Amino acid sequence: MRDYDVNERVPEDAMEQPVEMRGYDRVDNERGPELGQKLMMKEYKPNKQEILREYELRIKFLSVGCVVSVGCKDIPFRSVKEAMECVNDYVNNPYEESKKWRELFESEE
């Protein structure tokens, strides 16, 4: 492959095709005259194991209720039953539950 001057137009057949990236979809559309393709961004959704490994989960039982710690956030619960329901929801669907809790924490700040 030959080198091109920065001011010289590179022929289309000499250009490499864009690399598909994890978390992106390729859509045929106008991106520009050089590529004729557009990469549309979509929200990257890590798999369940990646999310669960991201934060340490601790449960501290108290005389009434408990405190669930996820990473650096401590969440108090009035009853152990309520806490276990939330922990189970988080383990079963960590992506959606973490979004819900993140929104809650951000609205309280």
pLDDT, tens digit, 9 for 90 and up, residues 9-48: 666 665 555 555 444 455 544 545 455 455 566 777 888 8
Based on the fold, state whether residues 56 and 98 are members of the same structural domain: yes
Based on the fold, state whether residues 2 and 34 are members of the same structural domain: yes
Domain of 30 in residue numbering reads as: 1-44
Based on the fold, state whether residues 39 and 57 are members of the same structural domain: no
Count of the separate structural domains present in the chain: 2
**pLDDT for the residue numbered 28:** 47
pLDDT, tens digit, 9 for 90 and up, residues 50-75: 889 988 999 999 999 999 998 888 99
Enumerate residues 6+ apart whose C-beta is below 8 A from 53. Answer: none
Based on the fold, state whether residues 31 and 53 are members of the same structural domain: no
Based on the fold, state whether residues 1 and 34 are members of the same structural domain: yes
CA distances from 16 to 10, 39, 95 (A): 11, 15, 35
Terminal Cα-to-Cα distance of the chain (whole angstroms): 55
Based on the fold, state whether residues 104 and 63 are members of the same structural domain: yes
**pLDDT for the residue numbered 104:** 85
Based on the fold, state whether residues 25 and 55 are members of the same structural domain: no
How far is Cα 95 from Cα 70, in angstroms, rounded to an integer?
A: 14
Give the model's confidence band at 4: pLDDT under 50 very low, under 70 low, under 90 confident, else very high: low
